Chains A and B, each alone.
Chain A
Amino acid sequence: MKDLVRQKLSINVDVMDMLNEQIAKEAHSSSIYLAMASWCDHNALNNSAKFFYDQAEEEREHMMKIFRFINDNGGTSYSPEVSNIPHDYNSLEEIFESALGQEINITKSIHNIVLKCRKVNDLATENFLQWFVKEQMEEEQTMRKALDLFELMGTDGIALKLIDERIPTIKG
């Protein structure tokens, strides 16, 4: 008997569900970075604002990459709903701590999908996700570099302005 489901869908259906959840997480992440960019803009931290605007776009690109991958392989991608975006922050340091936490969560989620792919022998998706594994490593490093600046310079007086000036250099 020919397997029509397999003929139509190249990826594992449970992995497809996890990828759809990942789409929602990337969209959520993009919106959080947008909120962070807005906070930075209002607090005259222009370089940090630009950094987070770029991050927001990057997360959306990640989302679209997964979105197209699912559809290209015969699955169905679902456009995500985004809610619960925090807009209140106490400091730029808190924003970067929160951004690092956000990236760590995304990394864990990607790793979970890779592990599931190995379990169900979905080699195509595992191969596709390797790019994300590397990308997440770089994202975490970037956020850590920002937090290192706070450790090195503190936040008193002109230090915050100097940190903001150095933000464009942290992206590897």
Chain B
Amino acid sequence: METVLFKSRYYAAYQSKKGRCFFVDIQDRRIKMSFCQLLAFRQKILAIDLDAHFDAELNRHGIEILTLCNREHLFVLDTLEVVDLKMFIQGIFTMSELHTLVTV
């Protein structure tokens, strides 16, 4: 049984009730992540330089290569997907904070 944590235009995140783990849907693939891997995923996304996507010299093709879970998965994302991914990862953790505030 999985509960939706957050959904954006391209991605969705779930938490497993039994497995104490997370699932993230990216480009038609469902990736299972431990919390540690989710944090590493967040760190990678935050480190993406979005401005470079609008600079032809810094990022000529406007793509981002993202490896996940100790390079078990590899994704090639375009600019729109990267913008959405940055909002998506923030959304996951904001939902958790809101949940904490409501339950205090």
Contacts and interface: CB of A to CB of B under 8 A. Distances in A.
A47 to B, nearest CB: 42
Nearest to B42: A13
Given A4-B20, A4-B22, A9 B100 contact: no
A3 B95 CA distance: 9
Nearest to A20: B43
Interface residues of B, number: 23
Given A17-B46, A121-B101, 19 more contacts: A1-B99, A2-B17, A3-B99, A4-B15, A4-B22, A5-B92, A5-B93, A6-B96, A6-B99, A6-B100, A9-B39, A13-B42, A13-B93, A13-B96, A74-B35, A76-B39, A76-B40, A120-B97, A121-B104
20 contacts: A1-B99, A2-B17, A3-B96, A3-B100, A3-B103, A4-B22, A4-B35, A5-B35, A5-B92, A5-B96, A7-B20, A8-B35, A9-B39, A12-B97, A13-B42, A13-B93, A13-B96, A76-B39, A78-B43, A120-B97
Interface in B22-65: 22, 35-36, 38-40, 42-43, 46
Interface of B: 3, 5, 15, 17, 20, 22, 35-36, 38-40, 42-43, 46, 92-93, 96-97, 99-101, 103-104
Interface string A8-50: 1100110001000000000000000000000000000000000
